[in-house]
Structures are given as C-alpha cells and as structure tokens.
Amino acid sequence: MSTTNSIEIDIQKAATSKISQIDFENLAFGNIFTDHMLLCDFADGAWQKPVIKPYEPFLMDPSSRVFHYGQAIFEGMKAYKDEQDSVWLFRPEENFIRFNKSANRLAMPSVPEPVFMDGLKELLKIEQEWVKKGKGNSLYIRPFMIATGTGVIAAPSSQYRFMIILSPAKSYYSGEVKVIIAEHYSRAANGGIGAAKAAGNYSGQFYPTKLANEKGFQQIIWTDDATHTKLEEAGTMNVFFRIGDTLYTAPTSERILDGVTRKSLIELAEREGLKVEVRSVLVSELVEAVQNGTLKEIFGAGTAAVVNPIIGFSYQDVYYELPPTENSYALQLKEKLNNIQYKLAEDTFGWTVKV
C-alpha cells in the first residue's frame, strides 16, 4: 500500500493501540471505535487541513448550532478485507455524492472529494488491522458533519466539523423481524429532508418505534405522510416486496433515501434475470397479496445487513405472516452482493474500490 497523500493530512499516531483488547467475535454494532479518527474543520469560509489523530472526545461550546438546530448529516459505508489482505470499499463515490447532497439540503458546505475520499483511504490504511477477513466481518465507516459554530440563532452555522470514525462489525443478524405499517406517524414530509441523511430524520422515529417495540414489532415501514397508503421505507433500510416473482420497491423521492444497497440490488437482480419494478406499492396491494398467497417476501436493504428479511407485518391491528420462503430472492441477492464486496466473485459492475 502506498502512503502518498493527494492532500496533506496532519497525522498524529496513537501511542498504543487498543486492538488487542477487542473481542472481535462478540461485537455489538456501532459502539467500539478504532484507534484513530479523521477530523477537518470548516472556518472562515474554507476547509482547513485534515487531521488524523487518536480517537477521543473533543470540546464543544454549549451554544453549538448542532445542539440547537440539528445541522448534522452522516453517511454509512463499510470496508471489507479479501483473502489477500487487501481492503476494499463498496461504491464509495455514491456515499460521497450523497453526503454532499445532504450537506446542500441542510445549507452546509460541501466537503471536497480529497478530504472525504483520500482522508478515508489514509485513515483506513492506518487502521487496516481493524478490518478482519472472513465473510460477515467488516469495518463500518461513519463520515459525518456537524455545525460547530456558536450562537442560539436559527440560521446556518459558519463553522463545521467533518469527521470519520470507524467501528468494527460482525455479520448483522437482527433475529426475526416483524414490522408495523405506519398508519399515523411519519418519517418525512413532502418538500422536507427525508432524502437527506440528516440527523433530524432519525430521532423522530424513535418514539413511534418504541411504541412498535412494545407491541412486539422491531421496525416500522413508513408510508407517505399525506395518505398513509403508499409503502416507502424503514428506519435505516429501503424496502423490497416480492409479489409473485416480481420484486417491487418504491421509487426514490424527496421523502425516501436513495440507498446504495437498494440501487445495487436492483442492478444485480436485473442481471440475474429477475423482474424488478420500481413503483409505489400500496398498502392495500400488500394486504391483498398476503391474503391471496402471492406475497412471497419482504426485505429491508441497507449497508448494515445488506438484506434483512421481514417475516410478517401488522396493519390496522391485524398481523399478517408470510409463508416460509422457498428460493428466497433476498438471500440469493445478499449472497451475490456479499461475494462482490468480499472479492469472492468477479465485480463486473466495477463497484469495488481498493484502498
């Protein structure tokens, strides 16, 4: 691996590594971080020199805009290690572009590509020991940006901090997932920020999800807020429905995040000769399909788990369970996508990028 930087990064190495204390076989998602983080401040109208330094807390003023007005965005991606110990990213350009789309929607400055991409690669080179080999293992990557400018005025900040932190992850198994179809609460407004990976989109889902959890459901499938008739997406996953032998997923919109996994699965499915239709699926269609036996699968699609099969859903207080899946599209597609990500199959799409 080369250590040449395309941008100058100030690198301050940690004196010791905590990697030997980590039990890589028993990792809960998202709460252990590697030795270093990347940090780049925006001030006086310009991005300052990026720094890679030991992972540690930093000082924030109580009036920092992120605390009061939620000016904060993030991305979620993963690094994978192949059998030859090379580290790979999956479609990182998509995350970079989406990050700056989110930034624009929240009136935050764009992060320059070298800061995001070269910064990330440099950080990954330093932390390569944290990326474990073997299917299911990965290093979860969390780029984010927060408004660090001070003052309790509801207006965009003039200072920001871009950061990348890394968290080792095991294969994600969420157990049997049952969902509730949203009838009252909503995730996003027409003309709102639902298509951005904005911090404010998530906290609003916690309370309705808590109510769902109390009823024995793990997640909510959100519907359009105006009519609650169209199926949209889940908390951190886009959603696919297999009715008969066709896969359906909602078109992306201002209300729906344009997921990298979703778009990759669509392309993969099409290459595999599966029928995919990108169109709104009505709740009524779903109920009809489960009743007449044509609803074969529902699954979430996102970076964390690739696919997350859903075994049943509740709507208007009736619980509908799906029949046992034969010949699951979800699992086939997951396998194919994972094989590309772990370099176990040829990447004919050109999706993988070596660090």
Ligand X SMILES: Cc1ncc(COP(=O)(O)O)c(C=O)c1O
Which residues in this chain contact ligand X in the complex, by CB under 6 A?
76, 197, 233, 236-238, 257, 259-262, 302-303
Handedness of CA 116, 117, 123, 127 (dihedral sign): positive
Residues binding its own copies: number (CB under 8 A): 70
Return the range that interacts with its own copies (CB under 8 A); candidates 161-169, 173-181, 319-327, 336-344: 161-169
Task: Identify which of residues 60 and 344 has a Cβ nearer to its own copies in the complex.
Answer: 60
Task: Identify which of residues 102 and 126 has a Cβ nearer to ligand X in the complex.
Answer: 102
Task: Identify which of residues 197 and 242 has a Cβ nearer to its own copies in the complex.
Answer: 197
**Beta carbon of residue 145, minimum distance to its own copies (angstroms, whole number):** 9
Q: Is residue 23 within the footprint of its own copies (CB under 8 A)?
A: no
**DSSP secondary structure letters along 223-290:** B-TTTS-EE-B-SS-EEEEEETTEEEEPPPBTTB---HHHHHHHHHHHHTT-EEEES-EEHHHHHHHH
135-149 exposure pattern, b = at least 16 Cβ within 10 A, e = fewer: eebbbbbbbbbbbbb
| Beta-bridge mates of residue 253 | 256
Which 235-294 residues touch its own copies, going by CB under 8 A?
Answer: 235-236
Rounded to whole angstroms, how far apart are CA atoms 149 and 147?
6
**Beta carbon of residue 300, minimum distance to ligand X (angstroms, whole number):** 8
Rounded to whole angstroms, how far apart are CA atoms 240 and 300?
6
Which one of 111, 193, 260, 340 is in contact with its own copies (CB under 8 A)? 193
Burial class (CB in 10 A: 0-12, 13-18, 19+), 233: buried
Contacts of 211 (CB under 8 A, 6+ apart): none
Residue with structure tokens 């964390």?
304
Q: Does residue 179 sit in helix, strand or coil?
A: strand
How many residues are present in the chain? 355
**Beta carbon of residue 264, minimum distance to ligand X (angstroms, whole number):** 8
Window 335-354: contact mask with its own copies (x via CB under 8 A): --------------------
Task: Identify which of residues 126 and 177 has a Cβ nearer to ligand X in the complex.
Answer: 177
Contact between residue 84 and residue 355 where contact means Cβ atoms under 8 Å apart = no
Task: Identify which of residues 209 and 261 has a Cβ nearer to ligand X in the complex.
Answer: 261
Which 87-116 residues touch its own copies, going by CB under 8 A?
Answer: 104-107
| 217: amino acid identity, one letter | F
Q: Residues 31, 237, 138, CA angle at the centre, nearest 5°?
A: 45
Which one of 127, 225, 233, 297 is in contact with its own copies (CB under 8 A)? 225
Q: Is residue 85 within the footprint of its own copies (CB under 8 A)?
A: no
| Beta-bridge mates of residue 248 | 241, 277
Burial class (CB in 10 A: 0-12, 13-18, 19+), 251: exposed
Which one of 54, 68, 172, 339 is in contact with its own copies (CB under 8 A)? 68
Which 203-222 residues touch its own copies, going by CB under 8 A?
Answer: 203-207, 209-210
Which one of 19, 60, 278, 345 is in contact with its own copies (CB under 8 A)? 60
**Beta carbon of residue 260, minimum distance to ligand X (angstroms, whole number):** 4
Task: Identify which of residues 220 and 340 has a Cβ nearer to its own copies in the complex.
Answer: 220
Task: Identify which of residues 105 and 125 has a Cβ nearer to its own copies in the complex.
Answer: 105
**Residues at the contact surface with its own copies, assessed by CB under 8 A:** 29-31, 33, 37, 55, 57-63, 66-72, 74, 76, 104-107, 140, 142, 144, 146-147, 150-156, 163, 165, 167, 182, 184-193, 198-207, 209-210, 225-228, 235-236
